Amino acid sequence: MLTDTVIEDPRWDAAGLDRLSERAAVAALAHLGLDPAGFEIAVLGCDDARIAELNGTFRGKPQPTNVLSWPAEELFAEADGGAPARPEPGGPHGPAELGDIAIAYDTCLREAEIGGKPLADHVTHLVVHGTLHLLGYDHERDGDATLMETTEAAILAELGVEDPYAPRDGA
């Protein structure tokens, strides 16, 4: 398995975070031509209080957010909009660690309800988003944001999930 899911908030069990995370992360790597068997990602299913603590500790922003990621290595592209470096897969001693993702149930549920989308679709999007961060994708610069959003939308389309960046009726 690509993902190793740790559940701190039991509501994630009912939401199927382990299954959603595996499906989303596998799709992201496969879309980019990476063999999921060569990698491992740790996924933490937590609540808003825990993610606010993590956000404060690691980003200096002690408030809840939907998803956080910690890449195992810096793969970011030097040029705005350029493709990130490709990670090396693990070998005979096991898969290479891509990094960690934390996702907050309360914020995800609230965002899904506000957006009028199924929780599973929103969680799938956020795990794809976090996985792309682990792979060096970012959205700080305009070209990088365009590349990341386009890549996310393509992966989500392969999974049958609506493009989260497409304009919505009435918006």
Distance CA 87, CA 76 (A): 11
Distance CA 146, CA 65 (A): 22
Report angle CA 117, 33, 89 to the nearest 5 degrees. Answer: 110
> How many helices and strands in the chain, by DSSP H and E?
6, 4
Distance CA 84, CA 12 (A): 31
Annotated binding residues for Zn(2+): 129, 133, 139
Beta strand segments in 94-168, E: 96-104
Annotated binding residues: 129, 133, 139
